[in-house]
Amino acid sequence: MTQTLVPFGVRHAVTVDPEPVDPVTLIYDPDQQINLVRDGGVVVPALKHSTGKTSTTTASSDAKPGNDYDSDQTED
Amino acid sequence: MATTVAVFTADADVTADYVIRELNERGVNVFRCDPGDFPATVTMAARSGACWTGRLDAGGRCLALDDVVCAWWRRPNRTEPDARSAEPEWSAREARAGFHGLMAVLPWLNRPDDIRRAEHKPLQLAVAAAVGLAPPPTLLTNDPDEVRAFAKEHGPLIYKPLCSGGLSDHRMIYASTVAPDTVDDGVRLTAHLFQPEIPKDHELRVTLVDGRAFAARIDAASDDARRDWRADYTSLSYTAAELPGAVLDKLRAYAQRLRLRFLAADMIVTPAGDHVFLEANPNGQWAWIEDATGLPIAAAIADALEGRTP
């Protein structure tokens, strides 16, 4: 059986607690072509929706799947 | 005269919303589309000639290719294989080649191919050095002996991943101090990037849009964030800052060499006041900087997409 080895860089990994953007809470408005959220009884633009850490897909290329936790993790 | 701004991104990309809302307020036609939806819910038809003409239909809207004043490649989803196809992988490859190939004829705020090229960190560091932006000495290796020799030469090192620091289990790898006695054959398993620890007074995130610089000073209040500000956002404070003219000129030269109209650069400012280039993301995020500082980055991107010269 082949032993699995841990790359040096991976030893520096830490557990994070991302604050994901929940797509379920986003309401896409096809007229304005932007996302809205329900805030109380009012629907408002979803801008400034989070405190920082998100886990939205940030891959800049669709040649790469998955999330990119680049320096832009705090995107919004 | 072309009148429509095309935005290629995922529906849930709220950063794109900042710019689209700005364009909406200006009365500019916007066509938003996720390339990941092609061909499932996006229809494309185009004919060659002196230039390609044709249309994209998505979300009840139609984009005439010859009406695009500028296109913006934000954060689209990937075109996934369609289970309805007898050859799903081949169909997905053809879909990507057809869609991306046709989009290559558009005018862009950063061409997608230029974005991919400019994401290479070794290229970033080489171009930064060539334009005088003074990146740190850097070792890229899978040889632990080279790491030890580099540490002897430069003193304490940090390790940082080349691309995404995200692992499949949602752990993250940030820039980390290297303890010399931990350098071993684990280095041999992949490419590793090492740099000397640079003394920091503070850091800068500089967003460059068509040569206009929006610099934000980032001050960190925790050890984790002082090492890598991404590691602890809660300890950060942001203020709008000025970039020295000589540094800005070099950053503009960097962007020009990599054919980038937009970039987000990270720099260290040392206690001596020197600016040290770390990296420049050709498709970096910026909205949280605008929220924190009031820097009008969305408006600048809207200007660039409209073809306005400030």
CA of B32 vs chain A CAs: smallest distance (Å): 7
Residues B67 and B215 both lie in one domain: no
- Flag whether pLDDT at B286 surpasses 90: yes
Q: Quick one: average pLDDT of B113-140?
A: 97
Q: Are B278 and B265 part of one and the same domain?
A: yes
Number of domains in chain A: 1
Closest chain A residue by Cα to residue B18: A47
pLDDT at B310: 67
A1 within some domain: no
Q: What ipTM was reported for this prediction?
A: 0.83
Instruction: Say if residue B69 is in the same domain as residue B159.
Output: no
- Tell me the residue type at A23: P
User: Is residue B204 domain-resident?
Assistant: yes
Residue B59 has pLDDT above 80, yes or no: yes
Give B174-231 pLDDT, tens digit per residue: 999 999 999 999 999 999 999 999 999 999 999 999 999 999 999 988 888 888 888 8
Residue A45 lies in a domain: yes
Same domain for B96 and B16?
Answer: yes
Q: How far apart are CA B184 and CA B211, in angstroms?
A: 44
Which of A12, A35, A69 minimises the CB distance to B17? A35
B181 touches chain A (CB under 8 A): no
* Whether residues B38 and B181 fall in one domain: no
Please tell me whether residue B203 adopts helix, strand or coil conformation.
strand
Which residues of A are less than 8 Å from B116 in CB distance? 60-61, 63
C-alpha to C-alpha distance for B219 and A11, rounded to whole angstroms: 27
Say yes or no: B226 and B80 in one domain: no
* A3, A8, B64, B143 from A11: Cα distances, Å: 17, 6, 50, 17
Which of B109, B124, B159 represents a domain boundary (last residue)?
B109
CATH code of B172's domain: 3.30.1490
In a domain, A73, yes or no: no
pTM, entire model: 0.89
Collect all residues with Cβ–Cβ distance below 8 Å to B182 and sequence separation of at least 6.
A8, A11
Could you tell me if residue B24 is inside a domain? yes
Q: Return the percent helix, strand and coil in chain B, to nearest 5.
A: 35, 30, 35
CB contacts of B59 in chain A (<8 Å) are 30, 33
Task: Encode pLDDT of B2-54 as tens digits.
Answer: 899 999 999 999 999 999 999 999 999 999 999 999 999 999 999 999 889 99
Tell whether A28 is covered by a domain: yes
Same domain, B99 and B144: no
Residues B203 and B226 in one domain: yes
Confidence bin at A44 (pLDDT 50/70/90)? confident
Mean per-residue pLDDT for A26-34? Answer: 90
- Two tokens at B243? 């970039």
- Residues of B with CB below 8 A from A59's CB? 75, 78
CB A69 within 8 Å of CB B261? no
Structural domain contains residue B310: no
Beta-carbon separation of B96 and A58 below 8 A:
no
Residue A26 lies in domain: 21-49
Number of domains composing chain B: 3
Q: Which domain holds residue B164?
A: 139-196
How confident is the model over B240-252, as a mean pLDDT? 97
B120 and B210 co-located in one domain: yes
B244 shares its domain with B264? yes
Chain centroid to CA B209: 12
Whether B261 maps to a domain, the answer reads yes
Residue B29, in any domain of the structure? yes
To the nearest 10 degrees (0 to 180), the angle between helices B121-130 and B245-257 is 130
Among residues B201, B193, B150, B199, the alpha carbon closest in space to that of B175 is found at B193
Confidence (pLDDT) at A61: 34
Mutate to test the interface with A, among B5, B14, B124 (most CBs of A within 10 A): B14
The percent helix, strand, coil of chain A (3-state, each to 5) is: 10, 20, 70
State the Rg of chain A over Cα: 17
* β-pair partners for B265: B206, B280
Say if residue B173 is in the same domain as residue B269.
no
Q: Is residue B231 part of a domain?
A: yes
- Closest A-chain CA to B143: A8
Phi and psi angles of residue B132, each rounded to the nearest 5 degrees, phi first: 85, 25
**Domain CATH number, residue B212:** 3.30.470.20
Residue A27: inside a domain, yes or no?
Answer: yes
Are B86 and B182 contained in the same domain? no
